């Protein structure tokens, strides 16, 4: 028998015993776990998280978003905001072009009245063969002269200037509509400039908050110097934009004051809401309304009627008028006389002979050309 094999067998048996012991320890709980499954742990109802607070940590409250609202400058105004109706009333009372249009109406009515009247009579002194000294003598006297207008020319002239008065009235209404439109456009530009100023100031405040946050992050080492400088540059850019918007608001306000005829009116706040009350436009209805009710169409029709009346009056111009003259003369005895003269028509007549030619039928055309020649205002930005 080999003596060296006995200890090896004992060591092998010793190791096998310990291995079986560890396997027994590890196998018993696993079998028990398979035979008796564990039930899930039940938490108290007070400790179970609710659905509405499951996504929050601790006591942090949810952040409520805040959106900017229109009309904040109106609510913060120290004085009563001005409405569109008030601005239009001021324009109708103070705009110089409306007063000019009213003066043109009065002038046209005066020309119409003057065109229908007879020429003024003439009263004068006459003398002939007047001698001085002791001999004396000569004829002396006075006369009265009146021109009688024939061929119904006075009525025709009155018809021409009646159309002139109607034309001036339509032009005055057109100018009133133009002023109302200009006031409305200037009002909307001022209101938009107010809202834009609020928005620019909000952006400036946001940029300031961002710059302050970047500086705090830089102090804690969570941001570098370039991010701080970038936020400060944005802050200065927003500040300049807000200042430029303030200048734009003042410019629009001065334009509005010029339209209403009060250039020295102090800066005030206008009331209104840009988010609603916008008209719904229909292209076909707008075209039909312009065709039927446009003052330009009425001016063209009235100008054509006036031109026809002026043509009819000019055709009567070659018919001569009759001048009647009568008076008394004295030459050591009383003398009387009457003279009837007829002025013949001339081929070249001046404007002084025909009062219709003295009128200005083309002033509405000149005004239309002036309106069309005006450069359009730059768009609001």
Tell me the backbone φ, ψ of residue 378, rounded to 5 degrees: -65, 145
Of residues 121 and 79, which shows the higher confidence score? 121
How far apart CA 27 and CA 38 sit, in angstroms, is 18
Residue for token digits 């940029």? 207
How far apart CA 339 and CA 323 sit, in angstroms, is 8
154, containing H or E segment = helix 153-219
Q: What percent of the chain shows pLDDT beyond 90?
A: 42
How far apart CA 7 and CA 13 sit, in angstroms, is 10
pLDDT band at 276 (very low <50, low <70, confident <90, very high): confident
Angle at 331 between CA 326 and CA 337, to 5 degrees: 20
64, containing H or E segment = none
User: Starting from the edge strand earliest in sequence, which strands make up the sheet with 322-330, in order?
Assistant: 122-128, 139-148, 322-330, 334-342
Q: Are 199 and 68 in contact (CB under 8 A)?
A: yes
Spans of all domains in the chain: 72-272+297-373
Of residues 56 and 272, which shows the higher confidence score? 272
**Which residues on neighbouring strands pair with residue 335, listed in sequence order?**
329
Tell me which of 30-39, 277-286, 328-337, 352-361 is least confident: 30-39
* Average confidence (pLDDT) over 50-66: 57
Encoding tokens for residue 282? 């229909």
Q: CB within 8 A of 6, min separation 6: which ones?
A: none
Encoding tokens for residue 347? 């081929």
Residue 225 has pLDDT above 60, yes or no: yes
How far apart CA 258 and CA 183 sit, in angstroms, is 10
3-state class (DSSP) for residue 347: coil
For 123-161, the pLDDT digits (tens) are: 998 877 776 656 566 777 888 999 999 989 999 999 999
For 2-31, the pLDDT digits (tens) are: 444 445 556 666 666 666 655 555 554 444
Residue 359 has pLDDT above 50, yes or no: yes
The pLDDT value recorded for residue 293 is 84
The pLDDT value recorded for residue 18 is 63
How far apart CA 201 and CA 236 sit, in angstroms, is 12
Q: Please name the fold of domain 72-272+297-373.
A: Outer membrane efflux proteins (OEP) (1.20.1600)
Of residues 290 and 342, which shows the higher confidence score? 290
For 164-222, the pLDDT digits (tens) are: 999 999 999 999 999 999 999 999 999 999 999 999 999 999 999 999 999 999 998 88
Say what angle helices 225-260 and 84-94 make with each other, to 10 degrees.
50
**Which residues on neighbouring strands pair with residue 145, listed in sequence order?**
122, 325
């Amino acid at each position: 028998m080999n003596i060296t094999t006995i200890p090896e067998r004992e060591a092998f048996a010793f190791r096998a015993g310990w291995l079986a012991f560890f396997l027994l320890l590890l196998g018993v709980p696993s079998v028990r776990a398979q035979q008796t499954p564990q039930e899930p742990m039940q938490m108290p109802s007070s400790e179970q998280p609710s659905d509405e607070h499951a996504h929050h940590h601790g006591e942090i409250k949810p952040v409520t978003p805040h959106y900017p609202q229109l009309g904040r400058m109106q609510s913060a105004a120290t004085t009563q905001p001005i409405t569109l109706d008030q601005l239009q009333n001021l324009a109708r009372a103070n705009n110089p072009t409306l007063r000019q249009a009213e003066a043109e109406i009065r002038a046209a009515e005066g020309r119409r009245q003057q065109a229908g009247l007879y020429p003024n009579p003439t009263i004068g002194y006459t003398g002939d063969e007047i001698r001085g000294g002791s001999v004396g003598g000569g004829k002396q006297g006075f006369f009265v002269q009146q021109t009688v207008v024939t061929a119904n020319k006075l009525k025709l002239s009155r018809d021409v200037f009646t159309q002139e008065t109607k034309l001036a009235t339509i032009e005055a209404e057109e100018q009133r509509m133009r002023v109302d439109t200009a006031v409305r456009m200037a009002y909307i530009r001022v209101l938009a400039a107010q809202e834009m100023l609020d928005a620019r100031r909000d952006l400036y405040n946001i940029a300031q908050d961002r710059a302050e946050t970047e500086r705090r992050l830089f102090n804690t080492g969570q941001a570098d110097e370039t991010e701080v400088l970038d936020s400060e540059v944005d802050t200065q850019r927003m500040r300049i934009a807000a200042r430029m918007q303030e200048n734009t608001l003042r410019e629009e306000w001065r334009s509005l004051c010029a339209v209403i005829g009060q250039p020295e009116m102090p800066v005030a706040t206008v009331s209104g809401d840009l988010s609603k009350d916008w008209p719904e436009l229909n292209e076909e209805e707008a075209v039909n309304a312009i065709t039927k009710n446009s003052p330009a169409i009425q001016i063209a029709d009235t100008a054509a009627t006036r031109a026809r009346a002026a043509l009819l009056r000019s055709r009567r111009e070659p018919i001569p008028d009759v001048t009647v003259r009568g008076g008394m003369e004295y030459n050591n005895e009383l003398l009387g006389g009457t003279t009837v003269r007829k002025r013949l028509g001339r081929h070249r007549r001046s404007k002084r002979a025909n009062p219709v030619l003295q009128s200005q039928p083309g002033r509405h055309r000149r005004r239309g050309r002036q309106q069309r020649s005006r450069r359009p205002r730059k768009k609001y930005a």
